[in-house]
Amino acid sequence: MLGAPMGLGALGLGFWAQAVVPGSSRINGPLLEAMLASPPPHAVPKGSARDDLQDVAAERTATAGAGYALAEPAKGTPLELEIRVAVVRETDQLQLSASGPWWLRKSNGSVLRQGSAADTINLNASETLPAELWLETSAGHAVRVNGHNYDGRVRVLHDSGGLLAVNHLPLEAYVASVVGAEMPSSWSLEALKAQAVAARSYALAHMARPANRHWHLGNTTRWQAYRGLASSHPRTRQAAAETRGLILSYQGGIVESLYAATSEISMEAHGHLGASMSQHGAQALASSGQRYNEILGHYYRGASLARLRQGSG
């Protein structure tokens, strides 16, 4: 049985009074030429990062699970969301490329430069550059910023502070990367799944309250660690896929699900805020046979699981 849907478009964070608070292969010849001649469609994002949750809602369960276990909402049609992550900020230089054919576009979608996997382009903040550029590649390939591979595409903004590179990518690809950056991929799948839900909920909280009009959150542990494809592993992608769309909710709000490596660090860093998951503790609970929803219920008491869906709520 499902409870009432929550609208997330203009949703603030749920502040919890006691138990919980928010806390590649190279392509050559005619095939390459054909791909370079036919770049993928250029999708124009919404004007502000604050608009990226419009028409998104979540269904939460009206029943409780057994013990600390959080009841799992019924499966539904997967929702595709794009998250914006600042991967390089206020720099004088950027090196851009891709693992396949790439296109550097202006904000209106017109192609400024294009190249193959063997080509790179260097941008310098001292040059006369358009205020906005997009680095895109074909399906199945990665874009590269300063040698680091990323899913999706990269938006480059040029302002008085220098160059800013923002990775626009699917939320679930982001979650899989965060799980691999925050936990060893060899850990129990149930611990990885608990981390996936916590990472997704944390990301949604920052999509509802973005750090900047152009990006939702950064890529360091100031937010949560994100290393692009370098930390995306088959097991972390499985953890993201098996919890697809699930977030933590409390009283209609998104839980900014805090976590840290150990219970000691968690208490020191987040004790004054409320609930926080110990990652080593999650692994220990998973090793004792607990499922991801039991692990989450242990650390985020009073929470419920909600599943993202399309709809105005």
Q: What is the pLDDT of residue 32?
A: 39
| pLDDT of 15 | 31
Top pLDDT among 233 and 44 is at 233
pTM for this prediction: 0.82
Stronger pLDDT, 14 or 158, i.e. the higher one: 158
Predicted confidence (pLDDT) at residue 136 exceeds the cutoff of 50: yes
Residue 312 has pLDDT above 60, yes or no: no
Edge to edge, what strands does the sheet with 148-150 contain? 121-124, 93-98, 143-145, 148-150
The pLDDT value recorded for residue 19 is 36
pLDDT (average), residues 270-282? 76
Residue 26's pLDDT is: 37
- In this prediction, residue 18 has a pLDDT band, given cuts at 50, 70 and 90, of very low
189-208 vs 171-182: helix axis angle to the nearest 10? 120
**Among residues 160, 201, 162, 194, which one has the least CA distance to residue 179?**
194
Stronger pLDDT, 225 or 76, i.e. the higher one = 225
User: Of residues 272 and 248, which shows the higher confidence score?
Assistant: 248
pLDDT at 123 over 70: yes
Average pLDDT over every residue of 144-159:
96
Residue 14: pLDDT band (50, 70, 90) is very low
pLDDT band at 53 (very low <50, low <70, confident <90, very high): low
Dihedral sign of CA atoms 192, 198, 204, 206 in order? negative
pLDDT computed for residue 226 by the predictor: 97
Q: What is the mean pLDDT of residues 290-303?
A: 93
3-class SS letters over the chain: CECCCEECCCCCECCCCCCCCCCCCCCCHHHHHHHHHCCCCCCCCCCCHHHCCCCEEEEEECCCCCCCCCCCCCCCCCCCCEEEEEEEEEECEEEEEECCCEEEEECCCCEEEEECCCCCEEEECCCCCCCEEEEEECCCCCEEECCEEECCEEEEEEECCEEEEEEEEEHHHHHHHHHHHHCCCCCCHHHHHHHHHHHHHHHHHHHHCCCCCCCCEECCCCCCCCCHHHHCCHHHHHHHHHCCCEEEEECCEECCCCEECCHHHHHHHHCCCCCCEEHHHHHHHHHCCCCHHHHHHHHCCCCEEEEEEECCC
Query: What residues pair up with 122 in beta bridges, in sequence order?
Result: 95
Give the least confident one: 45-54, 171-180, 282-291.
45-54
Q: For residue range 227-268, list pLDDT tens digits in order.
A: 999 999 999 999 999 999 999 988 778 888 888 887 677 566
Percent of the chain with pLDDT over 70: 76
pLDDT at position 311 over 70: no
pLDDT at residue 162 in the model: 93
Q: What band does 67 get if pLDDT is binned at 50, 70 and 90?
A: low
15: CB partners within 8 A, 6+ apart: 21, 22, 253
The CA dihedral of 97, 104, 177, 265, to the nearest 10 degrees, is 90
Question: Is pLDDT of 286 > 80?
Answer: yes
Question: What's the mean pLDDT when you consider all of the chain?
Answer: 82
**161-217: per-residue pLDDT in tens?**
899 999 999 999 999 999 999 999 999 999 999 999 999 999 999 998 898 999 999
Six-digit token string for 235? 């097991």
Q: Is the pLDDT reported for residue 139 higher than 50?
A: yes
Please, are residues 12 and 251 in contact by the beta-carbon 8 Å criterion?
Answer: no
